[in-house]
Structure 1
Amino acid sequence: MLPHFFDLPWWGYVLYGLVLTQITIACVTIYLHRAIAHESVSLHPIVSHFMRFWLWLTTGMNTKEWVATHRKHHAYADRERDPHSPLNEGIWRMLFLGAVVYSKAANDQETLNKYGKGCPDDWIERRFYTPLKNLGIIIMLGINVALFGPLIGAAMWVVQMAWIPFWAAGVINGAAHYIGYINYKVKDNSRNLVPWGLFIGGEELHNNHHRYLSSARFAARRWEIDIGWIYIRVLSWLRLAKVRMVAPKYGAAES
């Protein structure tokens, strides 16, 4: 067997995988979604760049591609030109092939030009992150193999690579427009999957987000929990983030 650094009990590998994937989820919801796509929070450059680097390392996702596709989704939510709606693509295709549906829109130059404004366009983005967007996940594979050996390291890497395509592209873009409960009547079919957004960064509260796109907080009712908002409040306390907009209390603007 090839040499590696760690031999962990089964729960150690599970914990390692959960910690890394939850950091990735946090970077998606805070950096890509709330900070860049909707500009509801501004991040300190150190935090912003760490999250951009982490997403490059663990997902290979490009900021402009993600943001442009997401903004187009809001522009045509659950209508014909929505790039990823289960009403157009079917719920099972969105759940298990959501990343394929997303990639089609992300590779459309017209979408990028129209909806990708305001995304990072610095030297490192143009010369490194964009042209070498697949290098990060290769490095991540090498790190996992070095830590845990080829078999377990590769298995951990597969979990990491499947995490965002399933939970974000599949569950949020698919199930959150198909099942769940509604707080607000909106023009699309968005739903809150569960009231406790702890596992997918608060993105579970999808109907709330579709009602107030520019809100940094997705939770609306007192018993709803948005862990992404908790992260943002901690960053704000550390002076590493500044909240720009928060939705009014539930019922205040609806009455």
Structure 2
Amino acid sequence: MLPVLLFFAAHWYLSLFAQTFFLHRYASHGMFTMSRGWERIFYVLTFVFQGSSFLSPRAYGIMHRLHHAYADTERDPHSPRYSKNLFEMMWRTKTIYNDILNDRAGLDPKFEKGVPNWPFMEWLGDRWPVRLAWGILYTLFYIQFATTWWLFLLLPIHYLMGPVHGAIINWYAHKVGYTNFKVDDTAKNLLPFDFLMMGESYHNNHHAFGGRANFGFKWHEFDPAYPIILLFNALGIIRLRRNRDRAYM
């Protein structure tokens, strides 16, 4: 049982790190810069960490910018206000994501400015045979190490890890939680201590200060991704951009 639970935790947090660090804070908001070489390294790490649920950094970055620009309006790619339930919202998100991915969304060019784009890795990560191969690897691991039937109930989360993370924030962090700041939408802080989402649950804070690399504000709001960002900055892997707290792109 222990190997399976450790594998699940590793996949959960590594996938989440790729999403919050590379797709969200870098591709969407440009909170820091990095060299082309490091950008490609993080592209590969995102492919490995997200696996079967690989999300295009380019498409994610553009879609998230739309979310900030049109939060809780009809043009928002994922607003609970315009969906009857979680699954309807995620289906809408998937449709808009695929339109962006395949260049049929007809967007204002400003939303595409500066987003990373490595066509080969974007192509590879989106191939269904590749996604299926990742899913088979997860399943074989469970067959080898799962000691009870209920552990196999975790497998669908592995298959859809990226969208699961998105659903938690884009639905529940607009439905429940508390607010520190008055914003023009329903974004809330989902958890007072974010042990689950690596700082992403401080959604109200982030909507109020869209360019701020540290999502926490109050003493109890620890953003686990921020010390990693500071470490990478100190090592010269990235260059943190200052004085961008209120910028969203």
Same fold (TM over 0.5): yes
Residue 180 to residue 154, structure 1, CA distance change in 2 (3 Å): closer
Match of 2:192 in 1: 195
SS at match of 2:198: coil
Match of 2:73 in 1: 79
Q: Is 1:70 the counterpart of 2:64 in the alignment?
A: yes
Please state how far the C-alpha of 1:160 moved relative to its aligned partner: 1.6
**Number of aligned residues:** 232
1:79-228 matches, cutoff 5 A? 79-90=73-84, 93-94=85-86, 96=87, 98-108=89-99, 109-110=104-105, 114=109, 115-121=111-117, 125-130=118-123, 133-134=126-127, 135-144=129-138, 147=141, 149=143, 158-168=156-166, 170-228=167-225
Which consecutive unaligned segments of at least 5 residues does structure 2 have? none
Please give the alpha-carbon distance, in whole angstroms, between the structure 2 residues aligned to 1:185 and 1:144.
43
Q: Which amino acid aligns with 2:92?
A: V
Normalising by the residue count of structure 1, what TM-score does the alignment of the two structures yield?
Answer: 0.79
Q: CA contact under 8 A between 2:199 and 2:224: conserved in structure 1?
A: yes
CA-to-aligned-CA distance 1:34-72 (integer Å, 9 cap, x gap): 111101122355543333223334123112221111111
12, 21, 26: which is aligned to 1:21? 12
Q: Which amino acid aligns with 2:186?
A: N
SS at match of 1:80: coil
| Structure 1: 4+ residue segments shifted above 6 A | 153-156
Q: Which amino acid aligns with 1:64?
A: R
CA-to-aligned-CA distance 1:214-241 (integer Å, 9 cap, x gap): 1111011122100111221222232222
Q: CA contact under 8 A between 2:56 and 2:125: conserved in structure 1?
A: no
Q: Which amino acid aligns with 1:117?
A: K
Please give the alpha-carbon distance, in whole angstroms, between the structure 2 residues aligned to 1:185 and 1:76.
16
Normalising by the residue count of structure 2, what TM-score does the alignment of the two structures yield?
Answer: 0.81
Match of 2:32 in 1: 41
